[in-house]
Structures are given as structure tokens and as C-alpha cells.
Amino acid sequence: MNVRKVLEVIQSQGTLTRADVMRCSGISAPTVSKAVSALLDAGLLEERETAEFSVGRPGKLLQLPRFSAQVIGVVLEWDYCSIVASGLDGHLHEDKLDRFKTPQTYSELIEIISGKILNLVEKEEIPALGVGITVPGLVNSNDGRIFLASNLHIVDGQAPAVDIASRTDLECVLVQKSTSLCLSEKTYGAGQSVEDFINLDVTSGFGMGVFTGGQLLDGQHGLAGEIAHITVEPEGGRMCGCGNP
């Protein structure tokens, strides 16, 4: 619990010394030191010398890794898919962005993505701690299987995180697109200091993510906030990708 608290403080506050972490977290100095050592050993933190002049011996600065560790992001869409690497501090390495046309079959999709992830990791020679995958569809948070993706039917009933993990030997997690946008807004955007907010996604579809009391609202099977597939014009309206007007 203390290790997680220290990591959360540095994630939210940015670069800090051990003394800063102690003040922000309310955790004792020995406990902070032990937690920081564990995070450094795990590659979840990095430290550097302070560049600022101060009286006495300056404390080393702690920060989330930007270049010494990475996570991989995968965005699945009906027309194009994207793969990009990011530091643990959320900084996107946009020069590593790989965007490609969505294949026609699920097996092709998994093979292409898995191959590109492995190539990216091997080329950079930087430890990859995991892969995050987003999809514009209904995702069962219990087993990671997609109920329905109205604009990307090749993934219906599939579990891409499980299939990619088996080919890359990396930890993979699948998140519904609107939920991922909501989490991103809470972590890095305008939602950082807000306890209750709604994030609307109007792109390839229509979705919503909800934070209440500072916590993501998941609901049963992770389907809370799903507002698409609502009939607006029962007579003569445009057809949704799910087959309903």
C-alpha cells in the first residue's frame, strides 16, 4: 500500500525529492525510503541529481521514467489502427508512432499488432512493462472479451488483450475507448482536480466515461456510461452498425 501511495504522489506531483514525497504523502521517512528503493529496483522510478543550488546536501530527484522504461499503447479503430510507445510519465514518443490500415480479419489484426509491438521493443532496447489496448466497443471487464464493436465487427466476441499477450509475452489490458479517454483526462488533463465529471467521445462512435467521487464508474461488466445504441428516430432514422435504427 505504501509503495502504491508513493508512486501515486510522484505521478500526480511530478519530480520530487524523498523529503517532498514524505511531506506530500504523510508517510514516515524510513517507509518512504523503503518504498522508493522497491520502485527503483522494479524500474518504475528513476532518480537524478538536482540542478538547483540549496544549503546542505541536496536530495536526489525522483521521477517516473521517460526513456528508461516504456509502455505500449494500441488504438483499434474501424479504418486505421495505431501503435505508440510512451514513458511511464505519460510522455508519448510520437516519433515511434505506427499507423496502419485496419486489416480485414481478426487473425491478421492480431498478427500484425503483435509483430509491430515486438519490433518496437527490440528496436528500442528499452524494457516494455505492458501494453494498453483501446477499442470502440462494449468490453466485458471481467474476461476482457468484446461484446460488440458496431464499427469493427471483426473483434466481436474476441479477447485481443489475451491473444496479443500470448504472442508478445507482455502484460496486456483491454479498455473501452471512452473509458480510456476518461482515465486519460483524469490523469493528465482537465479532470485532474475534479472529483465528478463526464467525458463525451464523439468520433467514430458516441460514448461516455464517468468519474464520480474521484473514482471511475465501471458498473456491471464495465458497461457504465454506455449511451450509444439508443434509438433516436424509430421511423426512418439512420442505421447503427449494430443493425438498429
Model's pTM, two decimal places? 0.83
Assess contact for 198 and 216: CB atoms under 8 A: no
Number of separate helices (H) and strands (E) present in the chain: 6, 12
Rg (CA), the chain: 21
Q: What is the pLDDT of residue 245?
A: 61
**Bridge partners of 128?**
70
List per-residue pLDDT tens for the chain, 245 residues long: 789 999 989 988 889 999 999 999 999 999 999 999 999 998 899 988 775 555 556 678 999 998 888 999 999 999 999 999 999 998 999 888 999 999 999 999 999 999 999 999 988 778 899 999 999 888 988 889 999 888 899 999 999 999 999 999 999 999 999 889 889 998 888 888 899 998 888 776 778 888 999 888 887 766 676 766 667 677 766 666 666 66
For 83, phi then psi, to 5°, come to -130, 135
Tell me the C-alpha distance between 136 and 207, whole Å: 8
Q: Is the dihedral of CA 39, 41, 42, 45 positive or negative?
A: positive
Domains, the chain, in order of start with CATH, read 2-63 (1.10.10.10), 70-179 (3.30.420.40)
Question: How crowded is the C-beta side of 72, counted as CA atoms within 13 Å?
Answer: 30
